[in-house]
Structure formats: structure tokens, C-alpha cells
Structure 1
């Protein structure tokens, strides 16, 4: 059995002019939400075996906050440039490539790919995963490369805790 947690990066800022999209930082609200959600999750789930993030500043910062609150070593955080894609294809490839020694993983990524993924692989339809939303899906398969539709075991959004 495998368990995957997918986190949409926290709220980012659009107020900086002239910087590339990949470099956009978190807003203060995003930082607060990342701390809120990660602290809530530390009480609801066991620490995932591996943490993987998009290379985008906003996703990376969200992942670092989660690492801090879960006590996961920053040096073990995997950064994947391909997760910056807004397609679920790279998310699926990343999940399928996970080491089978990991029974659980948490991945930090972006809007469109996450929405498509959780609706294709989870059993609860979701219209939209908000910033810093966390979705947990449990799979019966023994190998990440074989995952099919699983059971959605967690749906958490910051607005439900404010």
C-alpha cells in the first residue's frame, strides 16, 4: 500500500514586477498558511518518507516550511524542475518513478497538474485545490509505477482552519 500527499504551493505574490514566474515568492498569507497547514498535518498524518518539490520559489518555500514543521531534513528534500510544469504528466511521471522503499510521499506542485491528478487518481471529485490545499490518496498497489485510482483519504484547505 502506498500513500501520496499532494500540496499545492501556498499563496504567492504577483506584486513584484520584472521577475520570472518561477521566481515569484510567497505572500505573508502564504507563509502563514504553510505553517498552519503543516502544523495541522503533523497531528493528522505520519511524517511522509520523502518530500519532493517543484523548483519554483513558491513551491520550494512551501516545502521548506513543511520540512521544518515535520522535522524532515532540508538536505533530503528533492527538488524537481519538471514539477514546475502545469501539466499532470510530470506529476504522474514523478510519482511513478518513486522508490518503492518509500511507502509515503509528499509532493509540492502547481494548480492545473494537481487538479487533474487528484481527480484522475482519487475517488472524490474536487472542483479546485486551493493554494496550500493538501490532498491525500492511498493506493492498494505495492509499486508506485503501477498506481491506479486510489482512495482519497485527506482533503484539507487553509480556509477550513481559520
Structure 2
């Protein structure tokens, strides 16, 4: 059995002009939500075996906060530029390529790819994964490359924890 947590990056700022999208930082609300949700996850689950993040500043900052609150070594955080994609294709490829030695993983990525992924691989329809939302899906398969439709066991959004 494999367990996957998908986290949409926390709320980012649009107030900085002249910076590339990949470099947009988190807003104060995003930082607070990342702490809130990572502390919730730390209290309610076993820490995932591997953490992977998009290379976008907002996703990476979200992942760093989760690493801190879940006690995961920053040196082991895997940064994947392909996760800075807004389609589920790279997300699927990334998850299917995970080492089978990891029984659980947490991936920090972006809006459209996450929404498509969780509806394709989870068994509960989700209209929209909000910023810093966490979706947990369990798969019966023994190998990541063979994942099919799994069971959505966690749908958590910051608004439900405030």
C-alpha cells in the first residue's frame, strides 16, 4: 500500500512587479496557513517518507515550513523543476517514478495539475483544491509506477482549521 499527500502551495503574493512567476513569494497569510496545516498533519499522521517540491519559490517555501513542523531534514527535500507545471502530466510522472522503498510521499505543487490529479486518482470529487490544501490518497498497489484509482482519505483546507 502507498500513501500520497498532495499539497497545493500556500497563498502567494502578487504585489511584486517585475519578478517572474516562479519567483513569487508567499504572503503572510500563506506562511501562517502553511504552519497551521503542517502542524495539523504532524498531529494527525505519520510523517511521510519523502518530501518533493516544485522549484517555484511559493511551493518550495511551503515545503520548507512543512519540513520544519514535521521534523523532516531539509537536506532530504527533493526539488523537482518539472513539478512547476500546471498540468497533471508531470505530477503523474513524478509520483509514478518514486522509489518503491518509500511507502508514503508528500508533494508540493500547483493548482490545475493538483486538481486534475486528485480527481483522476482519488475516489472523491473535489471541485477545487485551495491554497495550502492537503489531499491524502491511499493506493493498494505495491509499486508507485502501477498506481490506479485510490481511496481519498483526507481533504483538508486551511479555512476548516481557523
Q: TM-score, normalised by structure 1?
A: 1.00
SS of structure 2 residue aligned to 1:52: strand
What is residue 110 of structure 2 aligned with on the other side? 110
User: Is it true that 1:150 corresponds to 2:153 in the alignment?
Assistant: no
What's the CA shift for 1:141? 0.1
Query: Could you tell me how far apart the structure 2 residues matched to 1:155 and 1:124 are?
Result: 9
Query: Could you tell me how far apart the structure 2 residues matched to 1:40 and 1:69 are?
Result: 9
What is residue 40 of structure 1 aligned with on the other side? 40
Query: Could you tell me how far apart the structure 2 residues matched to 1:126 and 1:150 are?
Result: 14
Indicate the RMSD between aligned Cα atoms, in angstroms: 0.2
What is residue 31 of structure 2 aligned with on the other side? 31
SS of structure 1 residue aligned to 2:102: coil
Query: Could you tell me how far apart the structure 1 residues matched to 2:79 and 2:41 are?
Result: 21
Structure 2: gaps (5+ residues): none
What is residue 56 of structure 2 aligned with on the other side? 56
What's the CA shift for 1:123? 0.3
Query: Could you tell me how far apart the structure 2 residues matched to 1:123 and 1:23 are?
Result: 34
What is residue 135 of structure 1 aligned with on the other side? 135
Question: 1:10-25 to 2 correspondence within 5 Å?
Answer: 10-25=10-25
What's the CA shift for 1:17? 0.2
Query: Could you tell me how far apart the structure 2 residues matched to 1:90 and 1:5 are?
Result: 16
What is residue 160 of structure 1 aligned with on the other side? 160
**1:1-58 Cα shifts (integer Å, max 9, x gaps):** 0000000000000000000000000000000000000000101110000000000000
What is residue 68 of structure 2 aligned with on the other side? 68
What is residue 82 of structure 1 aligned with on the other side? 82
Runs of 4+ displaced beyond 3 Å = none
Query: Could you tell me how far apart the structure 1 residues matched to 2:44 and 2:144 are?
Result: 23
SS of structure 1 residue aligned to 2:79: strand
Query: Could you tell me how far apart the structure 2 residues matched to 1:161 and 1:85 are?
Result: 28
What's the CA shift for 1:104? 0.1
